């Protein structure tokens, strides 16, 4: 419950700061290169306690329309519980849409590439692109993932480079 409360506060802060910081949109034809790292505490059905997860997600995307990108995400997961660690790798598509400058929502599906043979993981995030200059943004986000009898809810921080970024569309 503490993670949920902190995440709601973080979303509220993102929305409030959206009005205070000069926002930029991303135009059709731009490329997005970067990634994020996150932390979550995961409740697993049938398991007492929780798992601790560290996530690293490099991404590449293309804006097919103003503020709408599609792309691929490579995910590295490390789950720890009771002194045991399990790692896996996933790959899948994502869709990102900037709802309002500079707040985005992103959805993804991740297929397991490791020998675990697990079902796909589905996820979504809400984040904020804080542009440091015309082509680089720091992106804090709240994320939710579900699949393989697990549900993850956590916070991540990312950095994205926008190539062919049309920053004149403010």
Give tens-digit pLDDT for 108-163.
Answer: 999 988 776 678 889 999 999 998 988 899 999 999 888 877 777 889 999 999 99
For the residues 41-61, what does the mean pLDDT come to? 78
**Domain-located, residue 14:** yes
Question: In this structure, are residues 35 and 158 in contact, taking their beta carbons and an 8 Å threshold?
Answer: yes
**Domain-located, residue 27:** yes
CA 70 to each of CA 1, 59, 60: distance values in angstroms, whole numbers, following the listed order: 32, 10, 9
CA 165 to each of CA 23, 30, 62, 105, 162: distance values in angstroms, whole numbers, following the listed order: 13, 5, 11, 19, 5
The reported pLDDT for the residue numbered 114 is 76
Task: Give the pair of three-digit tokens for residue 143.
Answer: 């994320």
**Domain-located, residue 170:** no
Q: Provide the CATH number for the domain around residue 149.
A: 2.40.160.20
Whether 89 has a pLDDT exceeding 70, the answer reads yes
CA separation for the pair 100, 80 (Å, rounded): 36
| Domain assignment of residue 53, given as a range | 2-163
Q: Whole-prediction pTM value? A: 0.76
**Domain-located, residue 67:** yes
**Domain-located, residue 169:** no
Quickly count: other Cβ atoms within 10 Å of residue 64's Cβ: 12
Task: Give the pair of three-digit tokens for residue 127.
Answer: 């984040």
**Domain-located, residue 65:** yes
**Looking at the 3D structure of the chain, how many domains does it have?**
1
CA separation for the pair 64, 70 (Å, rounded): 7
Question: In this structure, are residues 104 and 97 in contact, taking their beta carbons and an 8 Å threshold?
Answer: yes
**Domain-located, residue 168:** no
Which of 83-87, 88-92, 148-152 is predicted most confidently?
A: 88-92
Gyration radius of the chain's alpha carbons:
16
**Domain-located, residue 130:** yes
């Amino acid at each position: 419950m503490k993670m949920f409360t902190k995440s709601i506060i973080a979303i509220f802060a993102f929305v409030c700061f959206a009005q205070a910081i000069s926002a930029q949109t991303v135009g059709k034809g731009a490329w997005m290169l970067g990634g994020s790292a996150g932390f979550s505490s995961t409740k697993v059905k049938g398991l007492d306690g929780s798992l601790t997860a560290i996530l690293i997600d490099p991404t590449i995307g293309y804006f097919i329309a103003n503020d709408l990108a599609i792309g691929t995400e490579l995910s590295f997961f490390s789950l720890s519980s009771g002194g045991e660690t399990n790692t896996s790798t996933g790959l899948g598509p994502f869709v990102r849409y900037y709802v309002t400058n500079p707040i985005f929502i992103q959805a993804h599906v991740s297929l397991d590439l490791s020998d675990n043979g697990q079902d796909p993981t589905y996820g979504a995030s809400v984040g904020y692109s804080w542009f440091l200059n015309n082509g680089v943004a720091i992106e804090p986000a709240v994320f939710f993932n579900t699949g393989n009898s697990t549900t993850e809810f956590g916070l991540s921080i990312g950095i994205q480079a926008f190539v062919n970024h049309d920053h004149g569309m403010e």
